[in-house]
């Protein structure tokens, strides 16, 4: 598990809320506390949309919304003169990234055995942290997935100009 405290909170928030750095991640859950707590469960409901869009979403076989779809709502909650009291955003790598990471890391289990690769973004008391996490559908003492995900996230954060 990788845990990084972000020193440049404003820069990070700009990348998170105003730019596309995190847009390809799926949303597992969001909780933002300002004058009340706003919660988003991240579940995609294709039947909300017109039949054509519904069918396209079902063809993608996606059960969660993307960060780029949730970002405008989160921005509208967070923007203003005051910082939120707290937020907790759990993002998840999509299936393509999960398969790519699995293949490149030479893991001893298949991508289907991986439940998720997660980024936990937590802000509380003016402190912002990013923590990685993995979840498997099978038991294994093998930590190669954890190490591969941590390496990927470290490199990705550096590429995006996000440092602790």
> What CA–CA distances, in Å, run from 2 to 41, 57, 121?
24, 33, 12
Domain count, the chain: 1
Q: pLDDT value at position 93?
A: 97
3-state helix, strand, coil in the chain (%, to 5): 40, 30, 30
Asked if residue 164 is part of any domain, the answer here is no
- Average pLDDT in the 67-85 region? 94
Q: Which domain holds residue 14?
A: 3-159
Domain assignment present for 142: yes
Whether 61 maps to a domain, the answer reads: yes
Strands 26-33 and 37-40: antiparallel
Which helix or strand (DSSP H or E) is residue 26 part of?
A: strand 26-33
| DSSP of 89-144 | EEEE--HHHHHHHHHHHT-SS-GGGEEEEEEEEEEETTEEEEEEEEEESS-----H
In this prediction, residue 125 has a pLDDT band, given cuts at 50, 70 and 90, of: very high
Q: Is the pTM of this model over 0.85?
A: yes
Instruction: Identify the burial level of 17 via C-beta atoms within 10 angstroms of its C-beta, where 0-12 means exposed, 13-18 middle and 19 or more buried.
Output: middle
52: helix, coil or strand? Answer: helix
Given a cut of 90, whether residue 38 has pLDDT beyond it is yes
């Amino acid at each position: 598990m990788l845990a990084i405290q972000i020193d440049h909170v404003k820069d990070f928030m700009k990348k998170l809320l105003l730019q596309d750095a995190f847009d390809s991640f799926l949303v597992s859950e969001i909780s933002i506390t300002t004058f009340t707590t706003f919660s988003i469960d991240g579940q995609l409901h294709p039947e909300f949309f017109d039949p054509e869009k519904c069918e396209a979403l079902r063809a993608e076989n996606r059960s969660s919304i993307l960060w780029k779809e949730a970002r405008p709502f989160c921005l509208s909650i967070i923007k203003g003169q005051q910082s939120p009291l707290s937020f907790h955003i759990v993002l998840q790598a999509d299936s393509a990234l999960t398969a790519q990471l699995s293949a490149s890391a030479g893991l001893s289990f298949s991508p289907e055995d991986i439940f998720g690769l997660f980024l936990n973004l937590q802000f509380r008391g003016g402190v912002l942290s990013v923590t990685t996490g993995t979840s498997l559908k099978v038991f294994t003492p093998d930590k190669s997935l954890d190490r591969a995900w941590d390496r990927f996230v470290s490199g990705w954060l550096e590429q995006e100009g996000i440092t602790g």
